[in-house]
Amino acid sequence: MGTEEELQRDPAWETEKYGAKCARLLALYRDPEFAAVALPVYPLASADADEYLAKEGAAGTGDTAGPLPQGELVAGYAAFLRDRLPDLGESLAAVCGDAPWIVRSSGDEDQEEHVNAGGYESLVCARPEELYATVAAVVFSGYGDHAVAQQRLADPSYRPSPIAAFVQPLVDAAPLTAGPAVAAAETPLPGPADVDALAGLLGRLHERFGMPRLDSEWVLETDAGTVSVTGLTELTPDGRLVGQLSLGFGFASAQRLGDGDNSLAWLTGVPGTVLWRGAVLRRVETARSRLVQVRPAAAFEPEPSLDVLTEECRDAWRAACVAAPVDILVPPRRVRASSFLTSVRLEDAWSRYLRLEPEQRERLGHVLVERGSPAEHAAVMFRQHGVAVLRGRPEDIPETASYALADPWTQECHFGTGRPPEVVVETRRMSSVPQGCRLLFTRADCAEAAAVVRADGAAPGPALMPGVTRLYELPHLPSRVRDRIVLDSFRPSPDLFVRHGAEVASPAFTARTAEALLVDGVPPERVARRPWR
């Protein structure tokens, strides 16, 4: 592993031997500032695998169809490693504790210009007797068809080779307290103090690595079990932390969306103003946070300057094409009409994209999915390659449509056939707040508003909402987006509830104000009804 003296003398030594991904986590584990959240790391260089290939005469095989296909390489290297390092399990346990462990890749990935998210495997090792086979599978995971195809997007002549790996304790905790099981529709809602603590750590991470934009992955140990978190954040020149946190229940759920869904927190950069999106948000209490990944996110822009259609051009497109509302998960690099690909799941769309011919990928500028998250590995890769990702309803896409054009300003996609209308754009800077985000309130938040209502007997207006004035301070937020957030935060929606213990309630301002009135013995029907303005 190298001595501490060697590492202090030449920090690049670690990156060269173990890869940037492993080197960053090793640096954090040794950093006292991150000691509470960083996990132990046991690095494994690729030198033993290179020696194995040379011994087997397979060092030059670059394709899975070579003399030793991936399955044989994994089995052979597992046996080779068992002979080479018979005490690996004991050495690993001394650093990372007893199994289960997670064996993670550290190959050609997580670079500023070459992210390669999801290009290699990270696998759980449940028992010590599975260690050698699991390490071998990760070390040779770059030989799989998917991995090779993904690498060849950046380098058509790419030939796979063994990669470095590292092992860490597996954080997949059971609920810390007895309580109701997490329902299939529920998504995590940490408390404000937990979100603030995570935001503070994120700000320090940006400063620690000198990166203005970061993609980070976290595991929270909570009273409802493991919560997976992916952060896409920017530390702006004026010191604001802006971006999003995607949260899901269960192992790696924020990176690979399964049958459930994720909640999303939008960090506005204004203290005390976090916007949330979800359906049934389950309030969780965090006992411990663990940082498991940090990498550059150069392509992520939470407040981008984007080309959008001019009003006159937009009218022309609406007249000539079918316009449908969409949630833009990854905005287009430039507004243009292009061919498009549809899929139910985002990860399936990426697999299909990899199988396209180069000229087909060149013509494709839009991907439309029913299910997906901007934090998924597939979204990271589409963002890297300049392909817009849109989430919407398949029934909104005309069967005859041959091209699509997404307009970030209106969050809609135009579908047409034949020759598309002319595209005329103007540049606007805008905050990329996802659709459906809103302020959430507790009954305590609305106690003051309830007191005002009791005093004058009038229905509460949005001006009484705590934090509403801060929405008008958010930079680059289009007025139509702000107005939608105010309205969604003000009135209850059948699509959003918060579960806290045995209580399930709407987090909307008017619903919480009504609760506060009822607690104080003032029936809502005694409050005059009038439309809000």
pTM across the whole model: 0.87
> pLDDT of the chain along its 533 residues, tens only?
444 444 444 567 898 899 999 999 999 999 999 999 999 999 999 999 999 999 887 644 444 444 578 999 999 999 999 999 999 999 999 999 999 999 999 988 777 667 777 889 999 999 999 999 999 999 999 999 999 999 998 889 989 999 999 999 998 766 766 677 888 889 999 999 999 999 999 999 999 999 999 999 999 999 999 999 999 999 999 999 999 999 999 888 877 766 667 899 999 999 889 999 998 999 999 999 999 999 999 889 999 998 899 999 999 999 999 999 999 999 998 899 999 999 999 999 999 999 999 999 999 999 999 988 888 889 989 998 999 999 999 999 999 999 999 999 999 999 999 999 999 999 999 999 988 999 999 999 999 999 999 888 888 899 999 999 999 889 899 888 999 999 999 999 998 999 998 889 999 999 999 999 987 665 555 444 433 33
Task: Identify the pLDDT of residue 5.
Answer: 47
Q: Which helix (DSSP H) or strand (DSSP E) does residue 201 occupy? A: helix 192-209
- All residues at 6 or more sequence positions from 170 whose CB lies less than 8 Å from its CB, including other chains: 99, 100, 101, 102, 124, 125
Distances (CA, A) of 206 to 231, 296, 439, 496: 12, 10, 26, 33
CA-derived radius of gyration, the chain: 25
DSSP 408: T
Task: Show the beta-strand stretches assigned E in 3-65.
Answer: 42-44
* Contacting residues for 345 by C-beta, under 8 A, at least 6 apart: 257, 369, 370, 371, 372
Query: CA 235 to CA 458: how far, in whole Å?
Result: 43
According to DSSP, the residues that pair with 339 across neighbouring strands are 364
Tell me if residue 262 falls in helix, strand or coil: coil
The arrangement of strands across the sheet holding 123-125 comes to: 42-44, 164-169, 101-106, 123-125
Copy the structure tokens of residue 474.
């958010």
Q: What is d(CA 513, CA 38) in angstroms, rounded to the nearest whole number?
A: 41
